[in-house]
Amino acid sequence: MTAHGRVTLVLGGARSGKSGFAERLAVETGLQRHYVATGQAYDDEMRQRIARHQVDRGDGWTTHEVPLHLTPHLQQIRDSGCVILVDCLTLWVTNLMMADADVDSAGLALVDSLADHQGSLILVSNEVGLGIVPDNRMAREFRDHAGRLHQRIAAVADEVYFVAAGLPLKMKG
């Protein structure tokens, strides 16, 4: 483990297996586990998706619902004796955009905080830059915000994985 803790970024497409892979990484640490959920249930489908994630995850997790103020919350719960899994950064970016927040500043604050993070931190996010160019401004801005955030986190992360078809590819570390 480095002096600042261990930061892992797990990227992948929708239903790629990235969350399950990240959860297995967290369990393998043997540390106390915290799950920071950024999603918000605005409709029945999302409520069902969240419930499915909770069942799949099982017991042994302390869950935190943090749709907007991710960095301050991580600073409150960081501890060298725990692992924190954040799922997912793209939902966090969406929440920030919908709240008319400064997404780039929030992302930079998160990246800056990683240098001082204690313990293990696993960040999960959807890779959204592999498809066609979106046809509307908001979707293009979302894709660009997510891409910049991923690059910044990957630059400082100890490990980076890309998951496709349930198979993790280690890209860094």
How many angstroms separate the first and last alpha carbons of the chain?
Answer: 12
Please compute the mean of the pLDDT values over residues 49-72 and round it to a whole number.
Answer: 88
Instruction: Give me the pLDDT at residue 4, please.
Output: 55
Residue 109 pLDDT exceeds 90: yes
**145 catalytically annotated:** no
Q: What is the pLDDT of residue 76?
A: 92
DSSP state of 86: E
pLDDT of residue 1: 34
> At a CB cut-off of 8 Å and minimum separation 6, what does 151 contact?
none
The kind and range of the H/E element at 143 are: helix 137-156
- Segment holding 57, helix H or strand E: helix 44-57
Predicted pLDDT of residue 46: 82
The pLDDT score that the predictor gives to residue 149 is 98
- Alpha carbon 138 to chain centroid, angstroms: 21
Which amino acid, 140?
A: R
Q: 4, 34, 53, 69: which is the annotated catalytic residue?
A: 53
Least confident interval from 32-46, 121-135, 137-151:
32-46
pLDDT for position 3: 42
CA distance 83 to 5: 10
pLDDT at 40 over 70: yes
Predicted pLDDT at 43: 86
Q: What is the pTM of this model?
A: 0.93
Asked if 128 and 88 touch (Cβ cutoff 8 Å), the reply is: no
